[in-house]
């Protein structure tokens, strides 16, 4: 099947984190307590090079991120370093929504095709999912959120889109989806007083709220696009606490089964 290829240009920049304050106390003699400043938070690992098939690229989501949440960043670096995530302290978007985060983004994909349909799951990692400013109440370190493009092989277009929402998922017909070309527009969104998930974009999302005010296409890595199988296996086996990556064996099929549009012939386990 022929699919459109989309060129994606993302510039990776170094990330700055807040520096620890250097303090001093004075009595009869001034004593310097800190000789140097050290980062308060570790920078996330660098992104993997884009490596995905044209089919996965053609129907990948066009992303935006509301201002009261984090940017998607790599969960694992080229050297196998896992992202340690962030504590749910400070602002709900604290230390995770700098422009340098947006420039060091990543999306992971896995697809399955049968019976005239292809389902492509796109997974995004966030360093924290914080509900309340200054508190971990209701939130957690690490967040994984997912979007599914359901592509009809006869029409060669996205006919349904699913998004994960907390511990469930919701599936929408094409008529409810806004597109950037062939790409469904989705927004990482804070759900009122609760935590975050992906929702479909609406008219109020123009222009996007990210630093560049355009729809974003992070470097995409598909199931066979990791530098090594060992690195992929390490990511799939990693413990992200209450957040789970749903493109691993078993979880991938379960997500497809739960989100499958009613009435289509697709077999999640086939």
Is residue 110 within 8 A of residue 250, CB to CB? The reply is no
pLDDT tens readout for residues 261-270: 999 999 999 9
- Give the pLDDT confidence of 57-80 residue by residue, as tens digits: 999 999 999 998 999 999 999 999
So what's the pLDDT on residue 2? Answer: 38
Q: Which residue is it, tokens 């490596």?
A: 51
Quick one: pLDDT at residue 7?
36
Least confident of 27-41, 61-75, 97-111, 154-168: 27-41
Counting every residue, how long is the chain? 270
Select the more confidently predicted residue: 20 or 92. Answer: 92
Q: How confident is the model at residue 31 (pLDDT cuts 50, 70, 90)?
A: very low
DSSP per residue over 113-174, as a string?
EETTEEEEEEEEEEEEE-SBTTB-TT-EEEEEEEEEEEEETTTTEEEEEEEEETTEEEEEEG
User: What distance in Å separates the CA atoms of residue 62 and residue 218, rounded to the nearest whole number?
Assistant: 9
Q: Give the pLDDT confidence score for residue 81 in this predicted structure.
A: 98
Which 8-state DSSP code applies to residue 210? S
> Does 34 score more than 60 pLDDT?
no
* Torsion 42-46-52-58 (CA) sign: positive
Residue 2 CB partners (closer than 8 Å, separation 6+): none
pLDDT digits 0-9 by tens, 226-255: 999 999 999 999 999 999 999 999 999 999
Look at residue 136 in the predicted model and tell me its pLDDT: 64
The predicted structure's pLDDT at residue 140 = 64
Return the number of other C-beta atoms located less than 10 Å from residue 140's C-beta.
17
Alpha-carbon distance of 27 to 240, in angstroms, equals 47
Q: Is the pLDDT of residue 30 over 50?
A: no
User: Strand 30-32 relative to strand 183-190: parallel, antiparallel, unpaired?
Assistant: unpaired
Evaluated on CA atoms 67, 68, 72, 74, the torsion sign reads: positive
* Under 8 Å between Cβ of 131 and 138: yes
Q: Please provide the average confidence, as pLDDT, over all residues in the chain.
A: 85
Residue 41, judged by CB atoms within 10 A of its CB (0-12, 13-18, 19+), counts as middle
Q: Mean pLDDT over residues 210-232, rounded? A: 99
Structure token digits, residue 8: 């994606």
Query: Does residue 160 contact residue 173 with C-beta atoms inside 8 Å?
Result: yes
């Amino acid at each position: 099947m022929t699919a459109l290829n989309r060129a994606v240009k993302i510039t990776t920049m170094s990330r700055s984190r807040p520096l620890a304050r250097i303090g001093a106390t004075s009595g009869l003699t001034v004593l310097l307590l800190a000789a140097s400043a050290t980062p308060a938070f570790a920078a996330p690992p660098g992104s993997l090079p884009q490596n995905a098939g044209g089919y996965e690229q053609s129907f990948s989501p066009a992303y935006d991120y509301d201002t009261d949440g984090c940017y998607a960043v790599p969960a694992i670096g080229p050297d196998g370093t896992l992202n340690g995530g962030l504590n749910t302290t400070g602002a709900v978007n604290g230390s995770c929504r700098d422009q340098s985060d947006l420039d060091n983004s990543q999306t992971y994909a896995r697809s399955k095709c049968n019976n005239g349909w292809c389902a492509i799951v796109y997974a995004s990692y966030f360093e924290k999912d914080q509900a309340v400013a200054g508190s971990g109440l209701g939130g957690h370190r690490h967040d994984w959120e997912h979007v599914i493009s359901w592509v009809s092989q006869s029409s060669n277009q996205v006919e349904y889109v699913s998004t994960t929402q907390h511990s469930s998922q919701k599936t929408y017909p094409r008529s409810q989806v806004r597109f950037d070309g062939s790409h469904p527009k989705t927004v990482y969104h804070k759900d009122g007083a609760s935590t975050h998930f992906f929702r479909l974009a609406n008219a109020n999302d123009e222009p996007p709220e990210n630093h560049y005010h355009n729809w974003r296409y992070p470097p995409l890595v598909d199931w066979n696009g990791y530098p090594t199988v060992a690195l992929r296996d390490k990511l799939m086996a990693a413990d992200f606490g209450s957040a789970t990556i749903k493109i691993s064996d078993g979880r991938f099929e379960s997500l497809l089964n739960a989100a499958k549009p009613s009435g289509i012939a697709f077999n999640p386990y086939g």
